[in-house]
Amino acid sequence: MENLDILITNGTILTMDPDGRVIENGSIAVQGDQIAAVGTSKDFQDVHVSRLIDARGGLIMPGLINTHTHAAMTCFRGLADDLPLMTWLNDHIFPAESKLDAHMVYSGTLLACAEMIRSGITCFCDMYLFEGAVADAAKTAAMRAVVGEVLYDFPSPNYGPIEAGFAYTEALIETWRGDPLITIAVEPHSPYLCSAELLKQAAAVSQKHGAPLVIHVSETQSEVQKSMAEKGRTPVGYLSDLGVLLPNLLACHCVALRDDDIFLLKKFDVKVAHNPESNMKLASGVAPVPDMIKEGVCVGLGTDGCASNNNLDILSEMDTAAKLHKVNLLDPTVMGAESVVHMATIQGARALGLEGITGSLETGKKADIIVIDMDKPHLVPMYSPYSHIVYAVKADDVATSIINGRVVMEDCRLLTLDIEAVMSDVNRISEKIRER
């Protein structure tokens, strides 16, 4: 280890490894796209380094993981606020999406990537339309991403009938197979917008290719009530009957769950994406996350899209998640800060099937690393780094981001995107949306 590509030094390292190591005055060595070593700064005194990054006493931690979003909805940020979920979807979002094209999705996703990188996110899971453009944008931004075309029973503005949707998904899988950053998922929208045949076919395609399977589930009480009335089962129970509850399934939202639903999620090792701010804004309810975690269900954090949040800030989501469940249960001990940081890092990686390569700082894993500048009035003093990350750190405190061994932001300056050009393009798109 005489020659290193990158050495990050002079910081407190939160490894998020199985032993929960926190290393004071630590350093991380990066060679190629991998973490070559993790230790104290004195362990790296005699190495030659191509690029030295001084953390200046800050926190060095795994990049944050956004387990559920619709990145291109940055184009619709603030378009239709303060409405019930179904009114918001049917009267505003679906009509707006019917006019989408690949360029709008690409541009909106570039803007989303810029926002996410600046707030410490190094990996995101996306469900939307024209997902080939999402993959291209993520690749341009040098972000790690799990992306999948949304599938539903009615014709899509991208692929048309559902048969073409599955063909589009399989083409994406072949196009991006083996890519170091992009993973393609199979993504039926929800039990209420997808037939039983569609859901079973989606599960079969995901199993065939070893791809993640992503779906919205039990987002509201009304969804559950309708499922009970029409199918005699909750959405989770219905998916179980269809054989769709699988270890590679990421169930997004899971707000309106019953005890037997949680039992089924645990039984089949289904993963969950918790989106507290979007659920609050749409008044969908409070997901029973403490109960899921207690039963051993893997739960990651997501922002949802900018039309229902309206930002892509996992640090804000962490703060909200911790406080929401405390006040909901009138128990200040639930959702402790360290548990929430796990949700945003290693548990998020596990939710996406990526725990073998990211989510923690360990030798041999991909170098997905962020540095947080702690030399700020609102971050002094620091007794617990976990507490600070959840309750005090803000998005603009993230100074440096490395993804797959590449520095994508340094000293708060984006290196992979021309942010002025990206914002200008999305502003032009918004003018067209206003005209329509």
- Whether domain 3-62+357-414 has CATH 1.10.167.10: the reply is no
Report how far Cα 357 is from the mean position of its chain's Cα atoms.
15
Taking 50 as the pLDDT cut, the residues of the chain under it are none
Residues ≥6 apart with Cβ < 8 Å to 306: 70, 73, 74, 76, 77, 112, 312
Whether a cis peptide bond, with omega within 30° of 0, leads into 381 is yes
Residues ≥6 apart with Cβ < 8 Å to 271: 247, 249, 250, 251, 297, 298, 299, 300, 350, 351, 352
Domains 3-62+357-414 and 64-351 share a fold: no
Number of residues written out for the chain: 436
pLDDT recorded at residue 2: 66
In this structure, what token pair is assigned to residue 208?
A: 């065939």
Q: Which CATH class is domain 64-351?
A: alpha beta
Domain boundaries, the chain: 3-62+357-414, 64-351
Burial class, 163, CB count within 10 angstroms (exposed 0-12 / middle 13-18 / buried 19+): exposed
- From CA 214, how far away is CA 400, in angstroms rounded? 30
Whether 114 contacts 415, CB under 8 Å: no
pLDDT recorded at residue 82: 86
Burial class, 171, CB count within 10 angstroms (exposed 0-12 / middle 13-18 / buried 19+): middle
Report the relative pairing of strands 121-128 and 144-151 from DSSP bridges: parallel
Q: What are phi and psi of 238, to 5 degrees?
A: -65, -45
Report field, pTM of the whole predicted structure over 0.95: yes
